[in-house]
């Protein structure tokens, strides 16, 4: 049996695939379902009093939907 990827790590991996540096501590501040069943997120990174904001979107699959539910149950402050 394989261990499922932690939802936060899954979203960080998606950010990395979109070109965001994984060396930085991106904080996912919002996750939502977009039009046509896509997964959208907003992430922020603060460095030397400057906040950088990144957005991403991808077509959702069943794994993403499950990850969103778990992420929201672990951290209800992240809006879904």
**Could you tell me if residue 48 is inside a domain?**
yes
**51 vs 35, 44, 54, CA distance in Å?**
27, 6, 10
Domain that holds residue 58: 7-74
- Confidence check: pLDDT of 2 > 70: no
**Could you tell me if residue 1 is inside a domain?**
no
What is the pLDDT, as a whole number, of residue 1? 46
Total domains in the fold of the chain: 1
* 3-state per-residue secondary structure call for 39-74: EEEEEEEEECCEEEEEEEEEECCHHHHHHHHHHHHH
**Could you tell me if residue 80 is inside a domain?**
no
Ramachandran region, residue 48 (left: φ > 0; alpha: ψ -120 to 50; beta: rest): left
The arithmetic mean of pLDDT across residues 5-16, rounded, is 64
**Could you tell me if residue 79 is inside a domain?**
no
What is the pLDDT, as a whole number, of residue 43? 78
Question: What's the pTM?
Answer: 0.42
What is the pLDDT, as a whole number, of residue 67? 65
pLDDT in tens, 17-69: 776 665 556 677 777 777 776 777 777 877 677 777 777 776 666 666 666 66
């Amino acid at each position: 049996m394989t261990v499922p990827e932690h939802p936060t790590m899954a979203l960080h991996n998606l950010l990395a695939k979109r070109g965001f540096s994984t060396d930085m501590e991106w904080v996912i501040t919002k996750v939502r379902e977009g039009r046509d069943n896509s997964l959208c997120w907003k992430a922020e990174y603060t460095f030397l009093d400057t906040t950088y904001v990144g957005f991403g979107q991808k077509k959702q699959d069943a794994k993403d939907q499950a990850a969103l539910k778990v992420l929201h149950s672990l951290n209800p402050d992240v809006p879904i």
